[in-house]
Copies of this chain bind each other. A is one copy, B any other.
Amino acid sequence: MVDDSQAKTSAHAVLAAVLQVRGGQLQALLWQRAREPFAGSWALPGGALAADETLEESMRRLLAEKVDVREVSHLEQLETRSDPQRNPKRRELATAYLGLVPSGLDPKVPEDTRWHPIDELPELAYDHEEILLSARERLRAKLSYTNLGFALAPPSFTLAELRDLYAAALGHPVSATNLQRVLLRRRLLEDTGERRRYGSGGGRPATIYRFHSCRLEITDQFAVLRPPTMIP
């Protein structure tokens, strides 16, 4: 039971699926392993949990070696992987996180580290491909029912830009018209009052928006089976 004075111990790693929309594609931050096991394969950033850290503190510390942590706009725990075979060298649990970096930033990364479009992944080490794909699922779901878009977008943006971010993350075309209506109705977006002209060629200047809040909020409480309305 819990009080077994004999504490079982095991190595514990943290891993991050760090995602960013770059060049119109959803991309993941990966580093290439030089040593066995999985030499040559690509891996998620991460490392070992230290003695007096929480998992999230550990994740932020380790991520700092790859990207400027201040540039990570959102970090949330995904799942803890525990297959005894997942690491061929030793028993190791790994807790995976989803990290997001706003579009437009280009953090300096180490030599062995690169962004990879999530649709054309190289050979990945361990169970990292599964983790990456489940991170993408989580992102897609939360884009629909929370304000998580703030974590993909720069501080301010036009609707066309935001539409491209959503389309890249969701993997399907998104209509700027309808995106605007949904996000305004939910009061996720604010008009900054500014306007921006597109590069060359004509066109009406676009309204520049920002997200009203940059903390995760559930904005579309699951519609179904909601409590009865109390207004008589």
Q: Which residues of A contact B (CB under 8 A)?
A: 1-4, 6-13, 35, 43, 46-56, 62, 65, 77, 79-80, 82-84, 90-93, 95, 141, 143-145, 166, 170, 172-175, 179, 182, 220, 222-228
| Count of identical protomers in the assembly | 2
Q: Are A10 and B49 in contact (CB under 8 A)?
A: yes
Measured CB to CB, the closest approach of chain B to A64, in angstroms, equals 13
Known A-B contacts A1-B47, A8-B12, A8-B51; the reply to A141 vs B222 at CB < 8 A is yes
In the docked arrangement, what's the CA distance between A228 and B179, Å? 12
Picked from B35, B52, B144, the residue with its CB within 8 Å of the CB of A84 is B52
Contacts of A53 in B (CB 8 A): 82, 84
Contacts of A50 in B (CB 8 A): 8
Picked from B2, B65, B77, the residue with its CB within 8 Å of the CB of A13 is B2
Picked from B2, B143, B170, the residue with its CB within 8 Å of the CB of A46 is B2
Q: Are B224 and A173 in contact (CB under 8 A)?
A: no
Contacts of A6 in B (CB 8 A): 48
Known A-B contacts A47-B2, A55-B82, A77-B79; the reply to A227 vs B173 at CB < 8 A is yes
